[in-house]
């Protein structure tokens, strides 16, 4: 890949996961990445010492040499963030937005210029090159911008190109998705503790079970219901467990969870639009 100078506006969890992944994949050199945030100097020092990337609070300096600008602040902070930097961003650069819920049209409205934007939704598994990322292009992004974004995200996991309207569901499913799995692991660990299993033994069993099940889905291509049926002996332990999940609304809870997270993504975008009208 051609070498690009990359700026990050925002130095939180997802910026770290993406940077860690890009460096691990050897796609980008630390010296070509500069990270900035609102005010947290310790965090920039942490990035410097852990990843050997540059850090600055001088937004003009940050953006002067950047080819690609990642937007990685919370949606509520994007109005202030763009107001601070828009004079330094030109049409020759391009933005990769990681923001949940925020449309490229809203960002273009705030930028007041036709800057190419690729809206993206990775997840924190980017840090270990396992992100499930979806991307879409703004009205001002070309196939070339999409190709470059795709190349960056393919280095840190899988990439799906979707219509912008689908980004809300993608965010609920895959952006937030790892958190649902971690929540389930927390519950499995509690059950193991209550059953008197040693913590380390339980952890090893749970993680290998999860990773084995994911690999079975990936490698066998079998439908999850088929794989589930292969485990479920009539009147056995699995049947008893699954019935308990059904009786406690497990499928319904998962479906509601993803619907509510999708709705929340819409709300984040609408809140921003309301702010822009003020």
CA atoms within a 13 Å half-sphere pointing along the CA-CB vector of 118: 28
User: Smallest distance from the beta carbon of 84 to ligand NDP, in angstroms?
Assistant: 6
- Identify whether the C-beta of residue 10 lies closer than 8 Å to the C-beta of residue 39: no
Query: What gap in Å lies between CA 234 and CA 202, rounded to an integer?
Result: 26
Query: What gap in Å lies between CA 133 and CA 58, rounded to an integer?
Result: 30
126 binds ligand A1CAB (CB under 6 A): no
For residue 141, what are the contacts with CB-CB under 8 A and spacing of at least 6?
94, 104, 116, 117, 118
Binding characters for ligand A1CAB, 174-193, by CB under 6 A (x = yes): -xx-----------------
Residue nearer to ligand A1CAB on the CB measure, 138 or 176: 176
Q: Token digits for 56?
A: 């600055």
Residue nearer to ligand NDP on the CB measure, 15 or 146: 15
User: Smallest distance from the beta carbon of 237 to ligand NDP, in angstroms?
Assistant: 35
Residue nearer to ligand NDP on the CB measure, 96 or 202: 96
Query: What gap in Å lies between CA 271 and CA 276, rounded to an integer?
Result: 9
- Of 69-77, 110-118, 142-150, 206-214: span binding ligand NDP (CB under 6 A): 69-77
Query: What gap in Å lies between CA 62 and CA 232, rounded to an integer?
Result: 57
User: Smallest distance from the beta carbon of 206 to ligand A1CAB, in angstroms?
Assistant: 23
Ranges within 80-139 binding ligand NDP (CB under 6 A) = 80-81, 84, 98-100, 121-124
Q: How far is CA 202 from CA 134, 180, 191, 212, in A?
A: 34, 19, 10, 15
* Interaction partner, residue 36 (ligand A1CAB, ligand NDP, none; CB < 5-8 Å by kind): ligand NDP
Strand 157-161 with 54-55, pairing: unpaired
Binding characters for ligand NDP, 164-203, by CB under 6 A (x = yes): -----------x----------------------------
DSSP reduced 3-state for 259 = helix
- Identify whether the C-beta of residue 17 lies closer than 8 Å to the C-beta of residue 131: yes
Q: Which of 7, 19, 36, 119 binds ligand NDP (CB under 6 A)?
A: 36
- Identify whether the C-beta of residue 76 lies closer than 8 Å to the C-beta of residue 14: no
Binding characters for ligand A1CAB, 58-97, by CB under 6 A (x = yes): ----------------------------------------
Residue nearer to ligand A1CAB on the CB measure, 54 or 97: 97
Which residues in this chain contact ligand NDP in the complex, by CB under 6 A?
Answer: 9-15, 36-40, 43, 72-75, 77, 80-81, 84, 98-100, 121-124, 175
């Amino acid at each position: 890949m051609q070498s690009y100078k990359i700026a990050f506006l925002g130095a939180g969890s997802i910026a770290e996961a993406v940077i860690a992944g890009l460096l691990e994949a050897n796609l980008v050199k630390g010296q070509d990445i500069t990270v900035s945030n609102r005010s947290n100097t310790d965090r920039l020092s942490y990035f410097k010492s852990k990843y050997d990337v540059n850090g600055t609070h001088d937004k003009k300096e940050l953006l002067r040499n950047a080819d690609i600008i990642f937007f990685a602040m919370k949606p509520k902070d994007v109005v202030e963030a763009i107001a601070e930097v828009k004079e330094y961003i030109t049409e020759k650069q391009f933005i990769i937005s990681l923001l949940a819920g925020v449309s490229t049209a809203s960002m273009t409205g705030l930028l007041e210029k036709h800057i190419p934007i690729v809206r993206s939704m990775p997840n924190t598994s980017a840090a270990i090159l396992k992100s499930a990322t979806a991307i879409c292009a703004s009205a001002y992004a070309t196939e070339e911008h999409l190709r470059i974004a795709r190349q960056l995200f393919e280095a840190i996991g899988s990439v799906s190109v979707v219509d912008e309207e689908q980004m809300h569901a993608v965010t609920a499913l895959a952006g937030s998705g790892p958190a649902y799995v971690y929540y389930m692991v927390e519950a499995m660990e509690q059950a193991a503790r209550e059953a008197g299993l040693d913590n380390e033994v339980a952890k090893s069993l749970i993680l290998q079970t999860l990773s084995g099940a994911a690999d079975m889905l990936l490698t066998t291509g079998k439908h999850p219901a088929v794989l589930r049926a292969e485990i479920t002996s009539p009147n056995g332990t699995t049947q008893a467990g699954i019935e308990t999940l059904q009786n406690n609304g497990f499928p319904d809870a998962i479906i509601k969870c993803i619907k509510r997270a999708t709705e929340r993504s819409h709300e984040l975008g609408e809140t921003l639009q309301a702010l822009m009208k003020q």
